[in-house]
C-alpha cells in the first residue's frame, strides 16, 4: 500500500451540506445504469468511500430510495446529487459524487460500470475497465462472502 487513506472534504453547490469522506482509492468510476442517468441527466461519476462518509448536518439531506437496496442523497436546498448509499445490506457503503469533493488532485478516471446500459450517443475517451450490470452484481455478492447479500 502506498500510504494511509486521506480524509477529504466536500459539499454541495450552495454550501448547505458539507461532508468528509475517505476514498478507498483515488479513482473515479462512471455508472451508466438507467437509474443514475435518470437521476442525474447523464452518466454518474463517483468515488467509492466505503462507510467513511460523515455529514455535518444530516437534516439538510434529501433522500430518495431508488431500489430495495440503495438510496440517493441530495441537498434539500440546491439539489446537488451528493452520494449513493446501500441500505439493508448489513454493510455501510457510500459512493460519493466525484464533483462534490473540494479537491480531486491525483484522482484518475478508471472504470465504467453498467456498460451494457450505456446509450450510444456518448463515449468517454479514457481507456477504462468496463463491467456489465451482471458483473457488478456478481462482484458485489462475492465481496459479501457467501453470496447471500
Average pLDDT, the chain: 92
Task: Return the biggest CA–CA distance within the chain.
Answer: 43
Mean pLDDT of 31-45: 95
Reported as a pLDDT band with limits 50, 70 and 90, residue 95 is very high
Mean pLDDT of 32-60: 95
Q: Per-residue pLDDT for 90 more than 80? A: no
For the domain covering 8-110, report its CATH number: 2.170.150.70
Annotate 48-112 with DSSP letters as a single string: EEET--EES-GGGEEEEE-SSSEEEEEETTT--EEEEEE-SSSS--EEEEGGGBS--TT-EEEEE
The model's pTM? 0.88
Beta bridge partners of 100: none
pLDDT of residue 4: 52
Classify residue 32 as exposed, middle or buried by CB count within 10 Å of its CB (0-12, 13-18, 19+). buried
Mean pLDDT of 25-36: 96
Q: Per-residue pLDDT for 149 more than 70? A: no
Which of 84, 11, 100 lies closest to 50 in space, CA to CA? 84
Q: Per-residue pLDDT for 17 more than 90? A: yes
Mean pLDDT of 43-61: 96
Q: Which residues of 88-106 are buried (b: 16+ CB within 10 A; e: fewer)?
A: eeeeebbbbbbebbeebee
Relative to beta strand 108-113, strand 129-131 is: parallel
Q: Are 140 and 70 in contact (CB under 8 A)?
A: no
Q: Are 53 and 46 in contact (CB under 8 A)?
A: no
Query: 3-state DSSP call for residue 115?
Result: helix
pLDDT of residue 64: 96
pLDDT of residue 3: 46
Mean pLDDT of 27-52: 95
pLDDT of residue 145: 65
Q: Per-residue pLDDT for 15 more than 70? A: yes
Amino acid at each position: 500500500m502506498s500510504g494511509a487513506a486521506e480524509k477529504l472534504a466536500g459539499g454541495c453547490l450552495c454550501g448547505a451540506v458539507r461532508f468528509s469522506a475517505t476514498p478507498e482509492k483515488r479513482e473515479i468510476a462512471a455508472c451508466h445504469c438507467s437509474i443514475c442517468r435518470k437521476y442525474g441527466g447523464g452518466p454518474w461519476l463517483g468515488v467509492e468511500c466505503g462507510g467513511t462518509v460523515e455529514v455535518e448536518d444530516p437534516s439538510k439531506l434529501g433522500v430518495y430510495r431508488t431500489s430495495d437496496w440503495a438510496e440517493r442523497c441530495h441537498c434539500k436546498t440546491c439539489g446537488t446529487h451528493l452520494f449513493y448509499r446501500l441500505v439493508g445490506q448489513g454493510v455501510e457503503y457510500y459512493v460519493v459524487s466525484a464533483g462534490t469533493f473540494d479537491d480531486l488532485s491525483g484522482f484518475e478516471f478508471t472504470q465504467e460500470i453498467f456498460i451494457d446500459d450505456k446509450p450510444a450517443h456518448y463515449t468517454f475517451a479514457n481507456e477504462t475497465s468496463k463491467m456489465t450490470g451482471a458483473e457488478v452484481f456478481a462482484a458485489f455478492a462475492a465481496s459479501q462472502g457467501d453470496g447471500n447479500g
